[in-house]
Amino acid sequence: MTQSMTKSPLPPASPEIPADLPPHRLSLVVPMYNEAENVEPLLERVHVALDGYPFPWEILLVDDGSSDSTPAELRRCATAYGPHVRIIELVRNFKQTAAMQAGLDAARGDVIVTMDGDLQNDPIDIPRMVNRLLKEDLDLVAGWRKNRQDGLLLRKIPSRIANRLIARMTGVHLKDYGCSLKVFRGSAIKNVKLYGEMHRFIPAWLATVTTPRRIAQEVVTHHARVFGESKYGISRTFRVVLDLLFVYFFMRFRTRPGHFFGGIGIGLGAIGVLILTYLMGVKLFLGESIGTRPLLFGGFFMVIAGVQMVTSGVLAELLTRVLFESGASQAYLARGREPLDDAQAWMSGPRK
């Protein structure tokens, strides 16, 4: 590396690579948005962590439409380090989930690691997590920030509540859904398509294509943010709740959505029919006027709502899934990339 590279603000650490690590190819996926100050330290830290790594590896840095100098820094550092550092530039800010999906689509490794670009995740944990994934024949090893370096009121407490709620509703019992440092078996994560803001629920989505028994968690290092500002606030809590409802629906009713919407529709329709039957009896047998009764409108609209729940709701959800899973549409657009020579684009060891 050139002498111009800055030193990582993280504490020094020696790489610990297991001696009997099973053979594989490793891809690191790092979404970045307005993280110009973190580009150099991140790449330096990754190269320190993977110093002497015995198998080929690459790192994909996904610029999610940054408005600062992040794209220029990415290109400069990629040129300095070599072709194993690959840059994907999205044409605008598509948010973290789409940026992560862009990296997963481009990753060529049979083991794929995702992590944040803000230096709070430490790549020193990667070899240990990869070793566990391969040795225990898992599909996911998720990081657990046991000693989390974030604010208590706005970050830790809402996160703990959300983690317990997500685990209870999805059946995938992890203590930290929000940690971006995760190690996947490529053949498993490639079967999951992410869109919207579903990156928070990747373990739950993965459980739809594998068994939760092949999902584990590992305590990882977590650092306080040094450069830049957090892109998340307390407002994301409301989005998490909405996303969780959809995850719950999809995990429970993916193959039978009609049971979910049909159950609600039949319930509403039955109440509406009972109301209308009662009013018809009042009209026929008691001779009372029902034309101006609010109950008539309530019963009528309950029947209509029941029909709509059974039809339009099911069709909307099914069409959404078909649209994304068929490959006809995707959650991001990336600038054109030059094809890379496989023999040169993989890193077999750190450059001196």
Task: Give the count of domains, the chain.
Answer: 2
Determine, yes or no, domain membership for 335.
no
What is the structure's pLDDT at 344? 60
Residue at a domain's end among 252, 277, 306: 252
Q: Within this chain, do residues 266 and 244 fall inside the same structural domain, yes or no?
A: no
165 and 309, same domain (yes or no): no
Q: Which amino acid is at 316?
A: A
Residues 156 and 50 grouped into a single domain: yes
Residue 338 in domain: no
Structure confidence at residue 100 (pLDDT) = 94
pTM of the model: 0.75
CA distance 125 to 13: 10
Query: 185 with 315, same domain?
Result: no
pLDDT digit string (tens) for the chain, length 352 residues: 433 445 566 666 666 788 899 999 999 999 999 999 999 999 999 999 998 899 999 999 999 999 999 999 999 999 999 999 999 999 999 988 999 999 999 999 999 999 998 888 899 999 999 999 999 999 999 998 887 755 556 556 666 777 677 777 777 878 888 788 999 999 999 988 887 777 778 888 888 888 888 999 999 988 876 665 665 555 566 677 777 777 777 777 766 777 778 788 989 999 999 999 999 988 888 888 888 788 888 988 999 999 988 887 778 667 767 766 766 556 666 776 545 555 566 765 544 4
| Same-domain pairing of 212 and 260 | no
Which among 204, 236, 252 is the end of a domain?
A: 252
74 shares its domain with 162: yes
Q: How far is CA 96 from its chain centroid? A: 8
DSSP E strands in 90-160: the ranges are 111-114, 140-144
How far is it, in rounded angstroms, from Cα 109 to Cα 128? 17
8 A C-beta contact, residue 167 and residue 173: yes
For residue 307, being part of any structural domain is answered with: yes
3-class DSSP state of 279: helix
Instruction: Give the range of the structural domain holding residue 106, as residue numbers without chain letter.
Output: 26-252
| Residues 288 and 242 placed together within one structural domain of the fold | no
Domain identity same for 30 and 98: yes
292 located within any domain: yes
Based on the domain organization, do 232 and 284 belong to the same domain? Answer: no
